[in-house]
Chain A
Amino acid sequence: MSGARRLETRIRSAASEGRIALMPYVIAGHPTLDGFARTLLQVANEADVVEVGLPFTDPTADGPVIAEAARKALAGGANLDHALGAVKEARAASEACFVLMSYLNPLLARGAERVCKELVEAGFDGLIVPDLPLEESLELREPADASGLALIQLVTPLTPTERIAKLSAATRGFLYAVTRKGTTGARAEAESIHAYLDRVGSVCGLPICAGFGLREPDQVQALLGHAHGAVVGTALVERLSAGEDPRPFLQEFRGPGCNSQ
């Protein structure tokens, strides 16, 4: 089964259980190089899809928490080979899907074809490249499609609906909907996020996963009916940076309904 198909199936099966697919984000080599494999497996066992961030020296799409954690991981020796090795182990021991989030330059340094092949071999199902818009993506999209690796597109609240439709047609596995955190109250924010996600849903046939600024279990629960999955990034990275066990935190997101059934 291709990565794209696996991702779609996994996320849809969460929906059929009446819950939001949980997509935790971890940074390769964080909190420590040696401890990462264990952290990854702990997180994978609580997750539907694990997003593994490859640290980059210039993470312009990330906020200060993730940027600082990535800096530490790089200083500790994190790199692509290490991430591939850790995912290979975790994939063998868990049911979760794995997606790499990497800025473009480290991927180009490895070579577009080679990196797609190596990612698939390690057990990655998909790839998210935050600084690669659709128009520039051909050199990566072709080898990704050829090797069955899902190149996942992102949309934002500022993306015109016409463009969302174009990105929905191009994405594989699921569509990543960036939900920017506004400055207004939580309720008003949730309402505008719902309207945005519904706009995305009206033109997208694949599952929609929301991310950026989701910190609390009730925020994620509130997405039911509007999105199929939710990325929890910064809030998890903060806990890992503090040396906490990620499992109790992630279990809160699975919701009482899921645990009691």
Chain B
Amino acid sequence: MIEKQGQRTNPPVNEWPDANGRYGSFGGTYVPEILIPALARLQQAVDERLHEPLFQAKLQAEASCWIGRPTPLTPARRLGERWGGELWLKREDQAHTGAHKINNALGQALLARSMGVRRIVAETGAGQHGVATAAACARLGLPCTVYMGSIDVARQAPNVARMQLFGAEVHSVESGDATLRAAIDEALRDWSHDPEGTYYLLGSAVGPHPYPYLVRELQSVIGLEARAQLYEASGRLPDKVVACVGGGSNAIGLFHAFRNDEGVELHGIEAGGRGMAMGEHGSTLTRGSTGVLHGTKSYLLQDSEGQIMETHSISAGLDYPGVGPEHAYLLESGRARYHSASDEEALAALAECAKTEGILPALESAHAFAGARRLAEENPGELILIGCSGRGDKDLGILMQANGGPGA
């Protein structure tokens, strides 16, 4: 095991993206001309306010009293005994509204309010980003519209009810694949109709620059806290950091603080779905190729004609054919490694975590657990930090079905 000494200084300033919003050859701003002025305004707001002390003070005050930060770092001893590693869980499931999504939603909503916008639009997959955005908008008094694929509306009904209780208007999207990707298509269309008065609150580290950067900056609190907490508790840094990757916001948020810690491996776990045939999974980095979708150049699941493929995952949040450009860069540069975990592996890891630790991770997070299990079994005795990005209450319906019906 690698002992880490004297690693508590802050990492150096961000190397990526460059001035053009590029992470190596990935990223950029591939949007219709109608959105260029809106992105320029967003860029200006990010440059002027995001790291400005007053804005940060406001954000941190709300993060503390409303989100409940810092979230705990929990040793998972019984699970670690079973899997053969020293496991620590970064508990974003304990953040207000039940997932890491709130870190980004609150930060962007504060930024949007400072820009004087009239309304917020957002897309959502599992519903967690929609719920987080609806809650942040309620808290800040901003009107909010959420687009959600009709398949996701059906499989995540409690989150639809929560968004509505927070006063958001929820639009069920029937077009396209009727999941996260169709919801992004529709949110982009909405934004294009009124780019001056509408703020698009994008939920993952995807989309045109500066979104992948903005989302990473707002989510990097996850890794910064976890790194300090782990060092405090165990006096060392992890051997491996493991997070699930759909668009990749919780993973980039967890990875970022460790990017310059050479001995720390970064592992992203994608949705393996029902198998590796095209259309059966959401393993963009492990099975995809370079392309442009939703404003950014990154890895994509596409056919030889450049048409975007349908995806499958038991977790709505990982059911997406694209991925954030910084992950594509981390893959190509070799700094992070990406694997996939199947629906079945995720369900099994989730069940084990629930039984041994009294913690019910979200189906998305369960992929990180499944990946960590494999890594722990292959490398016994290592210290593994797992991103528990959200809680599984929203998935109860799917979990009961997967277990053969209620009470099974």
Q: Show the binding face of A for B, using Cβ within 8 Å.
A: 56-61, 63-64, 67-68, 71, 74, 79-80, 104-110, 130-133, 135-136, 153-156, 158-160, 163, 167, 178, 180
Given contact pairs A108-B306, A109-B304, A156 touches B292 in the complex (Cβ within 8 A): no
Tell me, in angstroms, the Cα distance from A108 to B299 when the chains sit together: 13
* A107 in contact with B34 (CB, 8 Å): no
Chain B residue contacts of A178, Cβ below 8 A? 33-34
* B196 in contact with A67 (CB, 8 Å): no
Chain A residue contacts of B72, Cβ below 8 A? none
* A136 in contact with B307 (CB, 8 Å): no
Tell me, in angstroms, the Cα distance from A246 to B185 when the chains sit together: 29
One digit per residue, 1 when the CB lies within 8 angstroms of any chain A CB and 0 when it does not, for chain B 283-313 equals 0000000111111000010101111100000
Q: Which chain B residues numbered 20 to 40 have a C-beta less than 8 Å away from chain A?
A: 20, 28-34, 36-38
Q: How many of B's residues come within 8 Å of A, CB to CB?
A: 34
Q: Show the binding face of B for A, using Cβ within 8 Å.
A: 20, 28-34, 36-38, 175-176, 181, 185, 188-189, 192-193, 195-196, 290-295, 300, 302, 304-308
* B308 in contact with A57 (CB, 8 Å): yes
* A106 in contact with B31 (CB, 8 Å): no
Q: Could you jot down 14 A-B contacts, CB within 8 Å?
A: A56-B307, A57-B308, A58-B176, A58-B185, A60-B185, A60-B189, A60-B294, A108-B291, A109-B291, A109-B305, A133-B29, A158-B34, A158-B195, A158-B196
Q: Which interface residue of B192, B291, B292, B293 has the most chain A CB atoms within 10 A?
A: B292
Tell me, in angstroms, the Cα distance from A109 to B193 when the chains sit together: 29
Q: Which interface residue of A68, A71, A153, A158 has the most chain B CB atoms within 10 A?
A: A158
* B292 in contact with A105 (CB, 8 Å): yes
* A156 in contact with B33 (CB, 8 Å): yes
CB-nearest residue of chain A to B295: A131
Chain A residue contacts of B300, Cβ below 8 A? 105
Q: Which interface residue of A60, A71, A132 has the most chain B CB atoms within 10 A?
A: A60
Contact pick for B31, options A131, A158, A163, A167, CB 8 Å = A131
* B181 in contact with A135 (CB, 8 Å): no
Chain B residue contacts of A156, Cβ below 8 A? 33-34
Chain A residue contacts of B32, Cβ below 8 A? 60-61, 130-131, 133, 154
Chain B residue contacts of A64, Cβ below 8 A? 175
Q: Which interface residue of A61, A79, A80, A167 has the most chain B CB atoms within 10 A?
A: A61
In the assembled complex, the CB of A52 is this many whole angstroms from the nearest CB of chain B, namely 16
Contact pick for B306, options A106, A135, A158, CB 8 Å = A106
Chain A residue contacts of B302, Cβ below 8 A? 105, 109
Chain B residue contacts of A108, Cβ below 8 A? 290-292, 306
CB-nearest residue of chain B to A158: B37
Tell me, in angstroms, the Cα distance from A80 to B306 when the chains sit together: 10
The list of the 4 closest CB pairs from A to B, nearest first, reads: A109-B306, A106-B306, A105-B306, A57-B308
Extra 13 A-B pairs, beta carbons < 8 Å, given A67-B175, A104-B30, A132-B30: A56-B306, A59-B185, A61-B32, A61-B192, A105-B292, A105-B293, A105-B308, A131-B292, A133-B29, A133-B32, A136-B28, A136-B30, A159-B36
* A133 in contact with B305 (CB, 8 Å): no
Chain A residue contacts of B176, Cβ below 8 A? 57-58, 71
Contact pick for A106, options B28, B188, B307, CB 8 Å = B307
* B305 in contact with A80 (CB, 8 Å): yes
* A159 in contact with B189 (CB, 8 Å): no
Tell me, in angstroms, the Cα distance from A108 to B25 when the chains sit together: 14
In the assembled complex, the CB of B353 is this many whole angstroms from the nearest CB of chain A, namely 35
Chain A residue contacts of B185, Cβ below 8 A? 58-60
* A133 in contact with B304 (CB, 8 Å): no
* A135 in contact with B34 (CB, 8 Å): no
Chain B residue contacts of A79, Cβ below 8 A? 305
Tell me, in angstroms, the Cα distance from A135 to B35 when the chains sit together: 13
* B36 in contact with A133 (CB, 8 Å): yes
Chain B residue contacts of A60, Cβ below 8 A? 32, 185, 188-189, 192, 294
